Amino acid sequence: MAHRRSKLLLFFCFASYYLIAIAAKSYYDILQVPKGASDEQIKRAYRKLALKYHPDKNPGNEEANKKFAEINNAYEVLSDSEKRGIYDRYGEEGLKQHAAGGGRGGGGMNIQDIFSSFFGGGSMEEEEKVVKGDDVIVDLDATLEDLYLGGTLKVVWRVKNVIKPAPGKRRCNCRNEVYHRQIGPGMFQQMTEQVCDQCPNVKYEREGDFVTVDIEKGMQDGQEVVFYEEGEPILDGDPGDLKFRIRTAPHDRFRREGNDLHTTVTITLVQALVGFEKTVKHLDDHLVDVSSKGITNPKEVRKFKGEGMPLHYNNKKGDLYVTFEWSLSTDLSGLGHHRGREENPSPLGRFLEFAKSSQILSDRTAYGSGGSIHGDHDMNSYLKSIRNVIPQEMGRIRKAHIVSSRLVGQHSGQRPDKLLALHEEW
């Protein structure tokens, strides 16, 4: 009975280790190579990812630093034939037991040691000495929806140079070698000679292919999506990089400034006086309530916190700024005058004349005599004075506002006439 229990316990332990190994991301997945990848494939994959996530290129980015550590850990194992064999057969647990038993490399390597041994130095400045082809930079227009939602894939067709085999041999890997030549008894001269290898000949051909670009949410104008070693090739060196530079495409409703969004909402004069109920459809189709119960000045800007663009690599969002414009497209010459007293317009009439002549008041310049508003009047106080002069009419204004709102759907073109007709009853 005890023997059976011990067997059962051993089975559960083995099953647990197996499930953990399945759940954990494998070293091959981290380096984005198949399990049967060659040493050269592993080396090239490591080089691309290490350059992409190196801390020097991602200052202050904790996610990139964590990814860089994972890449180095995976490369340390897969670049060592003994460790790779143990990992392929027994997984990470096998590596731990091997290290505990005093196996080769049990102490592990420092991340910077791996990078230094691979690139010849621990700093990105050292890597720049590698001979590379030219980078290819392509401007990529991304919609605000792409940049707000993220995860959108852009497929771009491009034609590039590709190095292909060609008949014959060529000189390659040329370098200067130093040797000493004796020029007399006890006298030597240091000489430099260029030495080259013989390599198979190659030629350039033009080929076209599709490139899939992942647009991440919150990316900024000028930010780049880099495809390492997908740029212009060069003989006896590494290809340059292909860089897609993000450029925000114009939008019909929103304008982006950094992480903030700006939009304009047009309201009627009645809505500006008595309030309104309105919503703005956002980039992901959710509705932002921009309603108001009080007076709204022309050109007034209101901020809606957290309704802007998402921040790249962050769960926070910018703000939405809404500018309210007044619509005065209808002829308002007869509006606001008492019957039989056209020569002496009411405060409402004088205000309408002023608003019309100044194109919804972008400033407060004095407009002279004749009943128009002068520059020393504050806009908000003047609006309040209108409501004080005709308090008995505010109920009718609100009623007109309700009626006009109902007419928006089918009779949006007739709404100003309806408002004028209601006003003529005053």
Q: What is the pLDDT of residue 117?
A: 52
Confidence label for 304 from pLDDT (cuts 50, 70 and 90): very high
Confidence label for 63 from pLDDT (cuts 50, 70 and 90): confident
Q: What is the pLDDT of residue 92?
A: 82
Residue 194: pLDDT over 60: yes
Same CATH fold assignment for domains 19-127 and 255-327: no
Q: What is the pLDDT of residue 251?
A: 95
Q: How far apart are CA 189 and CA 72, in angstroms?
A: 45
Which H helix or E strand runs over 109?
A: none
Dihedral sign computed on CA atoms, order 137, 143, 144, 149:
negative
Name the residue with higher pLDDT: 375 or 179.
179
* Arithmetic mean of pLDDT over the chain: 73
Confidence label for 33 from pLDDT (cuts 50, 70 and 90): confident
Confidence label for 176 from pLDDT (cuts 50, 70 and 90): confident
Q: What is the pLDDT of residue 152?
A: 72
| Beta carbons within 8 Å of 1's beta carbon, 6+ residues apart | none
Q: How far apart are CA 124 and CA 398, in angstroms?
A: 68
Residue 97: pLDDT over 90: no
Average pLDDT, stretch 348-370? 46
Question: What fold, for 255-327?
Answer: HSP40/DNAj peptide-binding domain (2.60.260)
Q: What is the pLDDT of residue 190?
A: 82
Confidence label for 4 from pLDDT (cuts 50, 70 and 90): low
Long-range CB pairs of 330-334, under 8 A, 24+ apart, other chains included: 330/416, 330/417, 330/419, 330/420, 332/356, 334/420, 334/424
Residue 385: pLDDT over 70: no
Name the residue with higher pLDDT: 83 or 421.
83
CATH for 19-127 is: 1.10.287.110
Confidence label for 253 from pLDDT (cuts 50, 70 and 90): very high
Average pLDDT, stretch 215-220? 90
- For the chain, domain boundaries: 19-127, 136-248, 255-327
Find out whether 248 and 221 touch, Cβ atoms under 8 Å.
Answer: yes
The one-letter amino acid code at 220 reads Q
Residue 72: pLDDT over 80: yes
| Max avg pLDDT among 44-58, 288-302, 339-353 | 288-302
Pick from 122-126, 179-183, 231-235: least confident:
122-126
Confidence label for 421 from pLDDT (cuts 50, 70 and 90): low
CATH for 136-248 is: 2.60.260.20
Confidence label for 216 from pLDDT (cuts 50, 70 and 90): confident
The one-letter amino acid code at 262 reads H
Q: What is the pLDDT of residue 305?
A: 96
Find out whether 367 and 354 touch, Cβ atoms under 8 Å.
Answer: yes
